[in-house]
Amino acid sequence: MADQAPAIELRGISKAFGPVQANKDISISVMPGTIHGIIGENGAGKSTLMSILYGFYKADAGEIFINGQKTDIPDSQAAIAAGIGMVFQHFKLVQNFTVLENIILGAEDGGLLKPSLAKARKTLLELEKEYELNADPDAVIEDIGVGKQQRVEILKALYRQAEILILDEPTGVLTPAEADQLFRILHRLKDEGKTIILITHKLREIMDATDTVSVMRRGEMTATVKTYETNPENLAELMVGRKVLLQIDKAPAKPGETVLDIENLHVVDQAGVERVKGISLNVRAGEIVGVAGVAGNGQSELMEVLGGMRPGTGSVQLKGQPLPLSGLGSDGQARRQQGIAHVPEDRQREGLIMDFYAWENVAFGYHHNPEYQRNRLLMDNAALRADTERKIEKFDVRPANGWLTAKNFSGGNQQKIVVAREIESEPELLLIGQPTRGVDVGAIEFIHRQIVALRDAGKAVLLVSVELDEILSLSDRIAVMFDGHIMGERLPGETDEKELGLLMAGMNGEAA
């Protein structure tokens, strides 16, 4: 191994976007047959660096070596030819194509599709068997879950004979069980001699999965260490330049009056499938109620009804006053006026308009607030931009530029914009779904503190998260959902991940 050339070597890579220096003189070596982690805060330049390696961006300076050979990678086709595959945080799949069609897309053999599909089906079955990447080749992408979609992305790269795999935040949309399965697959790929680069903000994944880890901060490479020679606390400090609390430090809750009272709530989707099946739940002032469950068991629909985005039947009251459940746009606006703020699970589809400026996104849902009104006809844009600057500074949004469109921020910084907008409205009830999805450790600590501060100010918080450690550490009470039902409630100090996992799998309280 000592005499072996690195599978990947980047020398002096720099990349700027206007005044923003995304990568600055970065050098890194990745040995073949290893899992190499890259961590850093949101906006540290991790994804930019990997996009250069995959040919999405052209570096302003620097060189790339693949297996010891200097390699020019002007585009993704050149990267694929060099044996590199990339699985992006937001999958690049055609939703109404089948698994098989997505896998051969761009890699067809000649002008006739039928022979290509036949060859691909045979190869796909071999790859599935070799790496335990089970995926129905005839399933349509939009009909399968995100965990299986990710397997399709990996199969797509392997079908193109990738020897080097880059995975960008691969567990951001996966359940704990799906994440465990993914890492079993990655170790199998490693055992077969593949080289894997894992970009993640989750320190536990770095410690469990990688051989070596590189740390980036503000566009520069600050350290590369053997994983067994470090620990989560040290990595967190290298990432953010200061000590980080990995456990939430909060006083016991002091619950007050009932703020949210849900009785016998039912939700039926557009296809006529009942997603929420008569649940009852309450949240009191000064407490955080966490809702745990595998994605797709009714948590999303619950939050959407409470946020006024989807119709439901039953009774929902806020401080004793009934809330309309029509799901019309007026419901969502009325919710905000009544003191309900909502951080949706999907920030890009439901929390932001990606082509609008940050300062415009800060106003969405709150544009009728008096502080943003010059008169009844005109918005006071100067006041709004000043308020955006304050929120950007407080929540450490990077780059600190309200004139950037939402799509020009990293996923974690997009999340900070949404969280800042909703928490700073000082609501009576905060609905918050997947608050730290795709967010780095320093920002996770900050967002958690803001949620706890809201609770300590006497506000009610309903939290939905697939991260069990987040549920356990943030919640004062935990409700577990399975198949549209609440399987039981637990106090964090009287349960653990194993018991919650059993409830999430549909086992009743006695069995769990």
Summarize pLDDT for 170-213 with one digit per residue, the tens: 876 666 677 788 888 899 889 989 999 999 878 888 998 999 99
Please enumerate in sequence order all residues whose Cβ is within 8 A of that of 271, keeping only pairs 6 or more positions apart, or say none. none
Tell me what pLDDT residue 103 has.
85
Tell me what pLDDT residue 246 has.
62
Structure tokens at 114: 């039928």
Tell me what pLDDT residue 240 has.
76
Q: Which amino acid is at 475?
A: S
Tell me what pLDDT residue 173 has.
64
- The 10s digit of each residue's pLDDT in 384-416 is 999 999 999 999 888 899 999 999 887 788 999
Q: CATH top-level class for 8-240? A: alpha beta
For 163-296, strand residue ranges (E) read 164-168, 195-199, 212-217, 220-226, 258-268, 274-284, 287-292
Tell me what pLDDT residue 43 has.
75
Residue extent(s) of CATH 3.40.50.300 domains in the chain? 8-240, 245-339+427-512
Edge-to-edge strand ranges of the sheet holding 477-482: 340-343, 429-433, 460-464, 287-292, 477-482, 485-490
Tell me what pLDDT residue 17 has.
86
For 41-194, strand residue ranges (E) read 61-66, 69-70, 84-87, 164-168
Please, where are the H alpha helices in 277-408?
Answer: 299-306, 329-337, 358-363, 381-394
For strands 429-433 and 340-343, give the pairing. Answer: parallel
Structure tokens at 333: 């606006």
The residue ranges of the chain whose pLDDT is under 50 are: 1, 510-512
Q: How far apart are CA 413 and CA 350, in angstroms?
A: 15
Q: How far apart are CA 151 and CA 153, in angstroms?
A: 5
Structure tokens at 308: 């006024």
Tokens 């950037």 map to which residue? 404
Q: Which amino acid is at 153?
A: E
CA angle 421, 321, 455 (to 5 degrees): 40
Tell me what pLDDT residue 324 has.
94
Structure tokens at 191: 């055992």
Q: How far apart are CA 422 and CA 76, in angstroms?
A: 38
Residue 42: name the closest of 218, 238, 245 by CA: 218
Which CATH number is associated with domain 245-339+427-512? Answer: 3.40.50.300
